């Protein structure tokens, strides 16, 4: 369960919540141009665009959850367990799910190039290892000019223009868009009396949004994130814009205990990311550490080794 958004406010901001029952040792990882991304097909991306994202590094290989590249292209994978196929039966170069983000960020400068690359690929059911079986995902791909929802089917890719700039989980994206039509009457402004000729007026602020779903289901989070994003006002500084981005995503975060998944386990927001894809800066908060950490993409992008930034483990406090 996750929520991702693509947001324009002077710069292009892109990020997501990762909602899981546990952490898998995620880190912020910078992958320079000369890091050898060996593919299961036997080919090797020995030269590619530099990229930075949250990943679990297994056997020296970055298993990216989301990221951006040096040209500002961003992508995030979100759980899509009911609709995603085990593998595709169409024609195309085979690509396991864990290679998709490195391929898109390593080879493409824009959404247009990403869409063209996807049309040449066939998703396979191969996992990285027995410890890391394949996940069933769909993806949000954005470059500041366009956003696409990328959904796999057995017969091939479905690419949807995503003008909302929001993606959650099930159901498939067209059904999520249809859900927005049920909330067209909502507004950030006080409601008007359309009920009758009776003299009726609001008794408090915020009543224009009565009916906005507040549960943590993926459909409700889609509607809520879209409402919060679309009604967000422009900010003046980088710090203000990043804080505003985090306030938008805070509306869909999951506190531990509110989303049970059986056997005493609960999904919760393990981390929340925000990328300024225009300036190539990554921001992070975790469940345990609410202060915003900031890392710039290294300017020396020609190295061969991964650069790894461990997540903050605990909240920091200061007293004046």
218 within domain boundaries: no
**pLDDT given for residue 198 in this prediction:** 87
Please check the confidence at residue 29 and state whether its pLDDT lies above 80: yes
Q: Convert the pLDDT of each residue in 134-179 to its tens digit.
A: 899 999 999 999 999 999 999 999 999 999 999 999 999 999 999 9
Q: What is the CATH number of the domain that holds 151?
A: 3.60.60.10
Length of the chain counted residue by residue: 320
Torsion of CA 98, 157, 167, 257, to 10 degrees: -50
DSSP letter, residue 208: G
Question: In this predicted model, which residue has the larger pLDDT, 282 or 189?
Answer: 282
Domain count, the chain: 1
pTM of the predicted protein model = 0.94
**pLDDT given for residue 217 in this prediction:** 94
- Give, in order, the Cα–Cα distances in Å from 136 to each of 61, 75, 127, 216: 20, 16, 11, 20
Of 2, 31, 108, 259, which residue is the catalytic one? 2
Our answer to whether residue 74 is catalytic in this structure is no
pLDDT band for position 320 (cuts 50, 70, 90): low
Nearest to 236 by CA among 225, 228, 244: 244
Q: Which residues pair with 160 in a beta bridge?
A: 149
Question: In this predicted model, which residue has the larger pLDDT, 203 or 12?
Answer: 12
Phi/psi at 266 (nearest 5 deg)? -140, 140
103 within domain boundaries: yes
> How much is the average pLDDT of 298-305?
91
81 within domain boundaries: yes
> How much is the average pLDDT of 174-195?
91
148 within domain boundaries: yes
163 within domain boundaries: yes
- Give, in order, the Cα–Cα distances in Å from 206 to each of 27, 211, 220: 39, 11, 18
**pLDDT given for residue 241 in this prediction:** 97
> How much is the average pLDDT of 101-107?
96
Q: Convert the pLDDT of each residue in 251-289 to its tens digit.
A: 999 999 999 988 889 999 999 999 999 999 999 999 999
Q: Tokens in use for 263?
A: 């056997």
- Give, in order, the Cα–Cα distances in Å from 237 to each of 242, 278, 315: 9, 14, 25
**pLDDT given for residue 244 in this prediction:** 97
**pLDDT given for residue 42 in this prediction:** 64
Please check the confidence at residue 235 and state whether its pLDDT lies above 90: yes
| Strand pairing category for 268-276 and 11-20 | antiparallel
Nearest to 51 by CA among 75, 77, 70, 73: 70
Highest mean pLDDT among 20-24, 46-50, 142-146: 142-146
> How much is the average pLDDT of 87-105?
91
Please state, in angstroms and rounded to a whole number, the distance separating the CA atoms of residues 256 and 56: 22
**pLDDT given for residue 274 in this prediction:** 98
If you average pLDDT over every residue of the chain, what do you get? 93
Enclosing domain of residue 301: 2-170+260-310
Please check the confidence at residue 318 and state whether its pLDDT lies above 80: no
67 within domain boundaries: yes
In the chain, pLDDT over 70 holds for what percent of residues? 99
Please check the confidence at residue 70 and state whether its pLDDT lies above 80: yes
- Give, in order, the Cα–Cα distances in Å from 167 to each of 53, 58, 64, 138, 244: 18, 27, 18, 9, 18
Please check the confidence at residue 40 and state whether its pLDDT lies above 90: no
Please check the confidence at residue 43 and state whether its pLDDT lies above 90: no
> How much is the average pLDDT of 299-310?
92
7 within domain boundaries: yes
């Amino acid at each position: 369960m996750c929520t991702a958004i693509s947001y324009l406010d002077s710069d292009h901001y892109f990020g997501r919540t990762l909602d899981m029952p546990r952490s898998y040792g995620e880190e912020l990882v910078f992958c320079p141009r000369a890091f050898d991304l060996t593919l299961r097909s036997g080919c090797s991306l020995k030269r590619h665009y530099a990229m930075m994202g949250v990943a679990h590094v297994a056997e020296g290989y970055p298993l990216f959850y989301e990221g951006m590249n040096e040209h500002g292209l961003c992508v995030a994978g979100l759980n899509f367990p009911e609709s995603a196929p085990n593998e595709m039966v169409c024609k195309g170069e085979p690509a396991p799910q864990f290679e998709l983000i490195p391929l898109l960020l390593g080879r493409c400068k824009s959404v247009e190039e990403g869409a063209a690359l996807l049309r040449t690929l066939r998703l396979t059911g191969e996992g990285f290892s027995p410890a890391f079986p394949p996940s069933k995902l769909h993806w949000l791909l954005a470059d500041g000019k366009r956003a696409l929802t990328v959904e796999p089917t057995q017969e091939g890719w479905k690419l949807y223009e995503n003008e909302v700039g929001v993606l959650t989980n099930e159901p498939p994206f067209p059904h999520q868009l249809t859900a927005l039509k049920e909330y067209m009457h909502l507004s950030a402004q006080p409601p008007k009396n359309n009920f009758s000729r009776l003299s009726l007026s609001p008794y408090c602020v915020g009543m224009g949004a009565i009916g906005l779903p507040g549960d943590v289901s993926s459909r409700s989070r889609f509607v809520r994130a879209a409402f919060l994003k679309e009604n967000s006002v422009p900010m003046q500084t980088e710090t203000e814009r990043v804080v505003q981005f985090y306030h938008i995503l805070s509306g869909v975060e999951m506190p531990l205990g509110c989303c049970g998944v059986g056997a005493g386990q609960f999904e919760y927001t393990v981390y929340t990311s925000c990328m300024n894809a225009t300036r190539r800066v990554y921001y992070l908060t975790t469940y345990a550490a609410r202060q915003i950490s900031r890392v710039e993409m290294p300017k020396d992008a020609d190295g061969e080794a991964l650069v790894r930034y461990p997540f903050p483990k605990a909240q920091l406090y200061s007293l004046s």
